Amino acid sequence: MTAPAPALSLSSVSYTYPGAAAPALDGVTFDLPRGASLALLGPNGAGKTTLMDLLLRWKTPTSGTIDLAGRPLAAYARADLGRAVSLVPQGETARFAFTLREYVLFGRAPHVAALAMPTAEDESAAASALRDTGLDGLADRDVSTLSGGEHQLLLLARAMAQRTPLMLLDEPTSALDPANTARVAHILRDLRDRGTTLLWTTHDPSLAAAEATHVALLRSGRLLASGPTLSTLTAETLTALYSTPLRTLRHAGHLLVYPA
């Protein structure tokens, strides 16, 4: 039996911004296995945001190829891509007075025909996402009344309602307090256990060590290393990634990262 194609496969992917002297991404190659949770780490300016833009097809690679579930990413119609990939951005400003229920229903847009109303299935998906993120008791609130942590959970709920096999998350725990960070981490583990493939950016190698099954390390647009978390996140690779001496310690089944 032929093994299924990776959820995502990048081959020699490069991207250069117009007028730039050097590429923002330079020959990036890695596979994301189906059902994995991959943390993308790197210092500011490493190319993480550019890579996410390419995966969402907001930008087109200067060279190289990206395959999604065994098909060229460029071959997906926009609606098909919306049913295959969802995004949890770092933040977003709601410009109108939507309720949480209405906002999460926007995640069902790729599944709803033009000018059609949401179906019972769409309503059920939104309700389930609100419940799984603990926001169901706030479903009729105006989104402008939410705290920062609640709003981050709302963005996650919208992507969950989209029910895509691949979810991209841009620093999903940035600016969250420890309680909400733990809640988001628990939700991501649950999504992975249900078969969703996750790719998320983070500046926190300890969080990546605790929650990711795989990691990819970017520096100055180049891939330093990628693979299973425990074998890839080493003191040597992290020191090279951040240009500062770091050590790792395995304790109680966890990998801890701290300054040398």
CATH label of the domain that carries residue 244: 3.40.50.300
Give the number of domains in the chain: 1
Specify if 117 maps to a domain.
no
pLDDT for residue 72: 97
Q: Which of 60-64, 123-127, 207-211 has the lowest mean pLDDT?
A: 207-211
CB 257 within 8 A of CB 211: no
User: Is pLDDT above 90 for 92?
Assistant: no
Structure-token pair, residue 130: 């609100």
Pairing of strands 37-41, 214-219: parallel
Alpha helix (H) ranges present in the chain? 48-55, 78-84, 100-105, 120-132, 148-162, 178-193, 205-211, 229-232, 235-242
Q: Are 238 and 231 in contact (CB under 8 A)?
A: no
Q: Is the pLDDT of residue 107 over 70?
A: yes
Question: Strand order of the sheet with strand 85-88?
Answer: 85-88, 166-170, 197-202, 37-41, 214-219, 222-228
Residues 6+ positions from 253 with CB-CB distance below 8 Å: none
Average pLDDT over residues 103-109: 94
Q: What integer pLDDT is reported at residue 4 of this predicted model?
A: 81
Q: Which range marks the domain in which residue 7 is found?
A: 1-69+166-174+196-260
What is the pLDDT at residue 84? 97
- Residue 249 forms part of a structural domain: yes
| Nearest to 201, CA basis, from 40, 72, 2 | 40
Kindly tell me if the per-residue pLDDT of 19 is higher than 90: yes
pLDDT tens for each residue of 44-86: 999 999 999 999 999 999 999 999 999 999 999 999 999 999 9
Residue 209 in this model has a pLDDT that exceeds 70: yes
Whether 237 is in a domain gets the answer yes
- Looking at the chain, the whole-number percentage of residues with pLDDT higher than 70 is 98
pLDDT of residue 32: 96
Whether 153 is covered by a domain: the verdict is: no
Exposed e or buried b per residue across 59-84, where buried means at least 16 C-beta atoms within 10 angstroms of its C-beta:
bebeebebbbbeeebeebeeeebbeb
pLDDT at 47: 95
Burial degree of 116 (CB within 10 A; 0-12, 13-18, 19+): exposed
Mean pLDDT for the chain? 92
Q: Which tens digit of pLDDT belongs to each residue from 151-197?
A: 999 999 999 999 999 999 999 998 788 888 899 999 999 999 999 99
Mean pLDDT of 199-217: 93
Return d(Cα 169, Cα 200) in angstroms, integer: 4
Tokens standing for 168? 């991209």
Q: Has residue 136 been placed in a domain? A: no
Domain for residue 187, yes or no?
A: no
**What's the rounded Cα separation, in Å, for the pair 197 and 213?**
11
| 103 part of a folded domain | no
Length of the chain: 260
Q: Does pLDDT of 96 surpass 80?
A: no
Q: Report the distance separating Cα 160 and Cα 203, nearest Å.
A: 23
- What is the structure's pLDDT at 94? 66
Looking up tokens 């628990």 gives 186
Instruction: Look at residue 211 and tell me if it is in a domain.
Output: yes
Position 23: which residue type? Answer: P
> How much is the pLDDT for 191?
96
Under the phi-then-psi rule, with left for phi > 0, alpha for psi from -120 to 50, and beta for the rest, what region is 64? Answer: left
